[in-house]
Structure 1
Amino acid sequence: MLYHALLLVSTLTVSFSFFLVYKVAVLEDDINKLRGDISNLKPHSKESPDGMITGMSRTWERSKQVASLNSQQQRQTAKDSQTLCSSTASSLRMKREQAGCSGGTVGNVTVIPWIVALHQGEAISSTGDRIIIQQGGFFIVFGQVLFQSPGTIMGHIVRSRGTDQRSTELLRCLQEMPQTNCANTCHTGGMVKLEREDELELVIPDRPQAQVSMDADSTFFGIIRLN
């Protein structure tokens, strides 16, 4: 009886040993296959970071080119600009326009005596109280007037006059004035397309008694070329 038990244990031990040897062999084979797959993947893993770095480098170069172009455009824009500000004159000038000459506002208009505060580039010039366009294109036009007239509606318009002497209203601003502490700013601005030799002016229509602050930081008129 004991003999048979020992024989059974020996048989099981040998069988289990063979099974372990088989499993070890299978595992070694799997490990070798994995090593081969990893070896095949190594060139791709090297190329992928390089490709990513190359793509990032190209993106960085494009970003620098775009930034450089934007900087050049900004410098070009800064070269083509003009700002007029109100002078220290104690009174405003009045100009009467004849019917049929302007094609726009007819009657008395108040003209502010401007002086040149900033002028850069050759695309814009000025004469008298008008801005002259030397190179056509798109422009940012802006204007502000600080009114000091009590109890009424004040405002101004920015208009252009072409070579045919017809006037076109570009921008308009209206502001209601209080009865007391009568100081209110009327500001307007926008993008417009202008042709060569167009003339721009800012005027106050139909307000012969307009009282305007003549400080340069309160009343001004300007233009910036975009292209």
Structure 2
Amino acid sequence: MLYNALLSLTAFMFCLSLFLVHKASVLENDFRKVQGDIILQLNQPRSEGVNGKLAKMSKTREDIKPSTIQISQSSLKISSRRVKRGQGSCRAPTSFLQLTANTNKQPSIRGNITEIPWTVSAQQGNAISANENRIVVQEDGYYLVFGQVLFESPSTVMGHVIRSWGSTTSGTGSTELLCCLQEISDAAAANTCYTSGIVQLRQNDELELVIPYRPQALISMDAESTFFGVIQLN
């Protein structure tokens, strides 16, 4: 009896083991199938409705690398600098003209004024030119006008005037722009008289530096002592 009971228990346990192994195999196959379905769903592109648009936008943003953005920004900066340099290079150079006393000639008397003979010592641009003993303005604008004369006449007051000649309603007239006066003493028989200022000039205005009412003025004709010039400011 005991032997038969043990034999029956052994057979039951064997059958139970086979059943459990079969169930475990079935469960494992079901798990793998579900796992495969999940992976397949995740790999499919989401292109429907709003979710699809968001997925595409997200993918597009991910495809844009930071290095590409940095390169584009650098290119824009370089192009901007090139444009600025190009604009600056197109600007016309500043025009100026300086006259110095002509050492080969002597001052001349015209009426009640003394005229200094001039020669061109420095010039740039086309806005200013020299015509005989005057400076001619070719463009409207503001200009820096300057002049200096070294006087060698003792015991007297010496000076010069810078004036412009231009067309007016009544014809051609002169306008006094700058004036300089200097007292020359016996102790210092030589002294300079310098003046400068910013003035507005018109095209074809003519400028001259003259010494009024001093026919016997003694003037140094050195280039570094007596000069007259104009610089364009705009």
Note whether the superposition's TM-score is higher than 0.5: yes
Which blocks of at least 5 consecutive residues in structure 2 are unaligned? 1-72
Q: Indicate whether 1:86 and 2:101 are aligned.
A: yes
Distance in 2 between residues matched to 1:166 and 1:137, nearest whole Å: 19
> How do residues 55-66 of structure 1 correspond to structure 2 at under 5 angstroms?
none
**Partner of 2:120 in structure 1?**
116
Amino acid at match of 1:169: E
Match of 2:229 in 1: 222
In structure 2, the partner of 1:204 is: 211
Unaligned runs of 5+ in 1: 1-53, 97-107
Q: 2:158 aligns with which of 129, 154, 160?
A: 154
CA contact (8 A) 1:139 1:192 kept: yes
1:112 and 1:126 map into 2 onto residues whose CA distance is: 14
1:167 corresponding residue in structure 2: 174
1:124-180 alpha-carbon deviations (Å, 9 max, x no partner): 111111001111111010000000000000000100000232100000000000113
1:95: which partner in 2? 110
- How big is the shift at 1:90? 5.3
Contact 1:89 1:214 in 2 (8 A): no
**d(CA) in 2 for partners of 1:151, 1:172:** 20
Match of 2:55 in 1: none
CA distance in 1, matches of 2:145, 2:103: 23
CA distance in structure 1 between the partners assigned to 2:231 and 2:84 by the alignment: 24
- C-alpha separation between the residues in 2 aligned to 1:126 and 1:90? 17
What percentage of aligned pairs have identical amino acids? 51
Q: Please identify the structure whose Cα radius of gyration is greater.
A: 2
The separation in 2 between residues aligned to 1:226 and 1:92, in whole angstroms, is 31
2:93 is equivalent to residue 76 of structure 1 = yes
Give CA deviations for 1:54-86 in whole Å, capped at 9, x if unaligned: 9xxx8xx89x959x85x876x721xx1100000
- Determine if contact 2:151/2:220 at 8 Å carries over to the other structure: yes
- Which residue, out of 184, 187, 190, partners 1:180? 187
Q: Distance in 2 between matches of 1:147 and 1:125?
A: 27
The one-letter amino acid paired with 2:121 is A
Cα offset for 1:89? 3.4
Q: Equivalent residue of 2:221, what SS?
A: coil
Task: Write out the 4+ residue segments of structure 1 that deviate beyond 6 Å after TM superposition.
Answer: none
Aligned partners of 1:123 and 1:181: how far apart in 2? 39
Find the aligned partners of 2:176 and 2:186 in 1 and give their Cα distance: 29
CA distance in 1, matches of 2:203, 2:105: 34
Aligned CA RMSD, in angstroms, stands at: 2.8
